[in-house]
Chain A
Amino acid sequence: MNRKSAFQKIKNSRVVRVIFARKSVVFCLVVLLLLILAAIFAPIVAPYDPYKQDLKGMLQGMGPKHIFGTDAMGRDVLTRIIYGGRVSFTVGLVSVLIAGTIGMILGLIAGMAGGIVDAVIMRFMDAMMSVPMIIMALFLGSIFGKGLGNICLAIGISMIPSYARVTRGQVLTVREMDYVTAGTLCGASKLKNTISHIFPNCVSSNIVLMTMNLGNAILNEAALSFLGMGINPPTASWGSMVNDGYKYMGTNAVIAIAPGLFIMITVLCFNMVGDALRDAMDPKLRGTLGKKGKGKKGKKG
């Protein structure tokens, strides 16, 4: 297969077509892309140095020189938002991937194995769930210590139970379906059946959960930073900026609101994309969502 036809295949795939059929989703994707690109190329994009203090020009309001003003140290808020995106996106994506992967595997094992294995895994998950996610992350954070990687790990682990639970529930439904029995008859081993029939039919609800949790993870990182367990102070992150800025809500609200706005926009966009992704991955909805293409040969009789 040459490269062009591979590209064509991706372009024509139903998932891509369905997602691009919705204008709002395309808009969200563009916004996310811009935010991520800005974070990656922060040194080029950002107008100032994020760490350079200017105590004379501190707590400025919105203005032509500093669009979102300056914070208590006189640092440009917009610059710090752009740099903060690095932390927020990394924490969001990495921790959700950690949680999703481990959670889904645990859920699959619990659902497929049943019996004692199931009981042990799920009771452990229940125990984790009974502790609020943020306390869990705090606890893990205090074990792992500070730093970006450790925060991802802490937040990721604290989110595992919801994935395990959702996946297990799905597995229990799907494994009783006739098509799994049919798979066995077609010579699929238990493992093969799990991978090719059960797992793919359990993924879509997890995808939605992942996009929802992306927002949560970003917020959790903010909370951890606020509590001193997160990113070390000079490094910017959206959460810590909100927490630094909220003291000046009365006098210079934009310092807190601007990074908050970015959190909101990011979370919202991820949720929209997640919804679309779920719909696109559900084969039963494909025909109705993708405007052009093969959807038309539907039922005849």
Chain B
Amino acid sequence: MEEKVLVEVKDLKKYFKTTKGMLHAVDGVNFQIKKGTTLGVVGESGCGKSTLGRLLLHLHESTGGQIIYDGVDITGYDEKQMHEVRKKMQMIFQDPQASLDPRKSVKDLIGEPLKNYKVCKTKDEYEKKVKEIMETVGLAERYAESYSHELDGGRRQRIGIGRALAMNPEFIVCDEPVSALDVSIQAQVLNLLMDLQDDKGLTYIFITHDLSVVKHISHEIVVMYLGQCVEYAKTDALFKNPMHPYTRGLLDAVPIPSLTGKKLSTEVMKGELTSPIEPKPGCRFAQRCPHATDKCRGKDIPLREIEPGHFVACTLFEK
């Protein structure tokens, strides 16, 4: 595995204006993704995971912070500059049905980036390339003239992956690419993504709320809570030794199928996400946290390296 950092995010912020005040969707997130690895982003609904993914691709303008891609700060890029960057950065959407134009055939959908970026000089070359991509993502040639609604969810998502791959990108934002699929298809799509990573050395940021999926595919994991990163570690370390109470709560909530153990973990998180609109300073999880003390409220808790490579934002580990 190369140690080169492909994507780096520094103190990234995105606030949305609402009638009630500023909604802090992403609030000071930091991470690095090394080339050829996968960063998993987990968190419950509404914690800003998808916004984070879209920020990386400039589908939203960030409010603050920096996005550094391959050593270049792309934060202030305009549409024209992003047009070039998007050859290298692509996205796979959550809902393959909604992200595919119902009026375009599979062939046209997959070929769209090729046309827009004028990759192919001749028509034959174009047709060949489309066929190649369809083969790569495991779509039979007979589907070339079909429309997305005629196919099942797994095949639709393969079209989505094919479109993302068409330009031979280096980095792909996977925004819950398997959560709309049923379990057997999930496995197929995940394996496809992992095979593609091995073949092409792709770098992923994999956004999901499904811990078993993220464990399967990620090298490192960011746990998000209300727009903030609460824990950031290697996958093994995080699953073996979850430190932040929120991460522990998430892991406790995963049911363990076992023949002998009838009783599952009893510690279930209580309460709901607090409002992300104008949040008070201090740990955002404090209201639901069983270990919360006065130290947790009043001022923001920074992310600290507790063990090498294992970052946690929690007062429990203050020395």
Contacts and interface: CB of A to CB of B under 8 A. Distances in A.
Interface in A99-131: none
A187 B87 contact: yes
B299 interface: no
Contacts of A179: 98-102
A24 interface: no
Interface of A is mostly: helix
Contacts of A192: 116
B200 interface: no
A179 B159 CA distance: 12
Contacts of A300: 152
A278 to B, nearest CB: 14
Given A294-B146, A297-B146, A187 B95 contact: no
Nearest to B175: A178
A33 interface: no
B102 A188 contact: no
Contacts of B112: 183, 186, 188, 196
Interface string A188-207: 11101000110011000000
Nearest to B110: A186
A201 B117 contact: no
Most buried by A among B57, B150, B167: B150
Contact of A201 (B101, B163, B164): B101
A287 B112 CA distance: 24
Contacts of A299: 150-152
B229 interface: no
Given A178-B98, A182-B163, A200-B103, A187 B149 contact: no
Interface in B140-176: 145-147, 149-154, 160, 163-164, 166-167
A63 interface: no
A299 B151 CA distance: 6
Contact of B101 (A183, A189, A294, A297): A183
A299 B148 CA distance: 10
A178 B95 contact: yes
A284 interface: yes
Contact of A186 (B59, B102, B163): B163
Most buried by B among A181, A192, A200: A181
28 contacts: A178-B93, A179-B98, A179-B102, A181-B59, A182-B99, A182-B100, A183-B112, A185-B57, A185-B90, A185-B164, A186-B113, A186-B116, A188-B112, A189-B79, A189-B83, A196-B101, A196-B112, A200-B101, A283-B103, A283-B147, A284-B149, A286-B147, A287-B150, A294-B145, A299-B150, A300-B152, A301-B152, A301-B182
Shortest Cβ-Cβ A-B pairs, 8 listed: A187-B116, A178-B99, A186-B113, A178-B98, A179-B101, A182-B99, A186-B112, A301-B152
Interface of A: 177-179, 181-190, 192, 196-197, 200-201, 283-284, 286-287, 294, 297-301
Given A196-B101, A283-B149, 7 more contacts: A181-B99, A182-B93, A185-B59, A187-B87, A188-B112, A197-B101, A201-B103
